[in-house]
Amino acid sequence: MTQGPDESPQDPSQDLPDPADAGETVEEGAAAEAAPSPGSPGEPGDVAGEDPSESATDELTVTKMELEERTLDLQRLQAEFLNYKRRVDRDRELIKENATFSALAPITEVLDNIDRAKEHGPLDDGFRAVADQLERVVAGQGLVRYGAPGDVFDPTIHDALSHLGEDAEVEVTTVKIVAKGGYKIGERVVRAAQVLVVDPAAPGAASAPADAPAAE
């Protein structure tokens, strides 16, 4: 088919889009996709309705609770340590006392011999010096002698060898004679005193009247 004189051939470039316009269209589409929609979740700080003061208050409350727990733990550990220290100190003193007891218990027999020697008269100068030194040493270790006539009888520290009857001059059972002195370390008895005791007179015991008529 032949073209008429008034018809000109169509330019294909008129139907193609402008490259600049096409680039702007692509950029606008990418920006629209990247922008968050009004209902979509954003960053934590962008949450609608979140109060920063409430978040700080919650963190402070948790910190206080943790501090109280650590304080209670520390107090419990301190109490356990104090109890352990007291127990160790008590055991140490007990060990020391037992060692002293074991060392001094046999010496009581030596002290008894010294007492018997003194009952027979003055000691020689050399023997007296040794006896006095020995008594000072054991006294320095806490060994104390006890037991004397007239003491109230105490079964926890006295060993009654015999009862000598009744005595109107005493109101309770009383030590009359000390056969062997007793020894103590503190409140612990190393050896009980061996004694002879008298009992008080029975109540209501009748005595013969002083003005009773003589028998004819």
pLDDT of residue 203: 73
Q: Which two tokens stand for residue 214?
A: 């003589």
Domain tally for the chain?
1
pLDDT confidence bin for 26, thresholds 50/70/90: very low
Say whether pLDDT at 34 is over 70: no
pLDDT of residue 209: 46
Average pLDDT on 189-215 reads 72
Domain containing 184 equals: 144-203
CA dihedral 85, 87, 89, 90 (to 10 degrees): 160
Do the Cβ atoms of 177 and 160 come closer than 8 Å?
no
CA dist 178 and 119 (Å) reads 13
In a domain, 12, yes or no: no
Instruction: Select, from the ranges 24-28, 122-126, 179-183, the one with the highest average predicted confidence (pLDDT).
Output: 179-183
CA dist 69 and 176 (Å) reads 67
In a domain, 168, yes or no: yes
In a domain, 116, yes or no: no
In a domain, 101, yes or no: no
In a domain, 172, yes or no: yes
pLDDT confidence bin for 93, thresholds 50/70/90: confident
In a domain, 173, yes or no: yes
Say whether pLDDT at 37 is over 70: no
pLDDT of residue 49: 54
In a domain, 156, yes or no: yes
In a domain, 102, yes or no: no
Task: Give the CATH number for residue 168.
Answer: 2.30.22.10
CA dist 98 and 77 (Å) reads 31
Place of tokens 């002293």: 100
pTM exceeds 0.75 for this model: no
